[in-house]
Amino acid sequence: MADTSDTRTPAQIEADIRRRREVLAETLDEIGIRVHPKTIVGDVKAKVAANVDHTLGKAYVQVNRAVTDVRARFVDDEGTPRLERVLPVALVAVAVVGLLAVSTRRRKG
Domain layout of the chain by residue ranges: 10-74, 82-109
Confidence at 47, pLDDT banded by 50, 70, 90: very high
Is residue 6 classed as helix, strand or coil in its secondary structure?
coil
Phi, psi torsion values for 7, nearest 5 degrees:
-95, 5
Q: Each residue of 53-99: pLDDT tens digit?
A: 999 999 999 999 999 998 888 888 888 888 898 899 889 999 999 99
The amino acid at residue 16 is D
Percent of the chain clearing pLDDT 70 (strictly above): 94
Q: Given CA atoms 82, 88, 94, 96 in this order, what sign does their dihedral have? A: negative
- Between CA 32 and CA 61 the distance in angstroms is 41
Mean pLDDT, the chain, rounded, equals 89
